[in-house]
Each structure stands twice: as C-alpha cells, then as structure tokens.
Copies of this chain bind each other. A is one copy, B any other.
Amino acid sequence: MRRNCFAVIFTSVRNEGDNGYAAMAEKMERLAQQHKGFLGMDSVRSGLGVTVSYWETEADILTWKQQTEHLLAQTLGKEKWYQWYRVSVCKVLRHYEFFAEG
C-alpha cells in the first residue's frame, strides 16, 4: 500500500436475507478491481460490516462512485440490502505494517 493514497471506509448494517446481495457484492468487487486507480480492498462482516478500499487519487473514487453498474448497486443497496451505512472518504497520511517473524 503506498503513502498518500486515499481510502473509502464503508461501514454498514444489512437487512435480513440475501436478496441478490452476495452476487452483486462479488460483481462490484470484480469491477472495482478493474477500475482505474484501485489499489486494494479489505472487507469483513460479522453483524456490522466494514469494507475499506484504497485508491490512487480522489478522482478515481469519484469516477467509481459514478460508474453505471455501481450506481445501480447503490440504488438497490438503499432499496433492499442496507438498514444503515456510512461512507467516509479519507486521505491516508501514513501507513505502518508489522509482520511476525518465523
């Protein structure tokens, strides 16, 4: 992960039932990976869901937000999948990383 990249923190609570969510989530991850400026994504859910995606520039985040199929996913997300979510767009100031030896 490079310094001075940008991060989008997507924190959410889902509604009950799949209703097409899993297939769309997989598709969106695949499309994001192909999108300009995408650097990586970490996604975890256990009741609460937190997905962090990393991007080269703020412009890349805006074009991804407006990507046609992603707009449809956002609409369906509000209609069907999410009780609540918060999106935080961030500038990464610094990273540090630890790897255990052995």
Contacts and interface: CB of A to CB of B under 8 A. Distances in A.
A66 interface: no
Contact of A1 (B86, B89, B94): B86
A45 interface: yes
Interface in A66-102: 78, 82-100
A39 to B, nearest CB: 11
Given A42-B11, A90-B93, A93-B90, A78 B100 contact: yes
Contacts of A94: 88-89
17 contacts: A7-B88, A9-B9, A42-B50, A44-B44, A50-B50, A50-B52, A82-B100, A83-B100, A84-B99, A85-B97, A85-B98, A86-B95, A86-B96, A86-B98, A87-B96, A87-B97, A88-B95
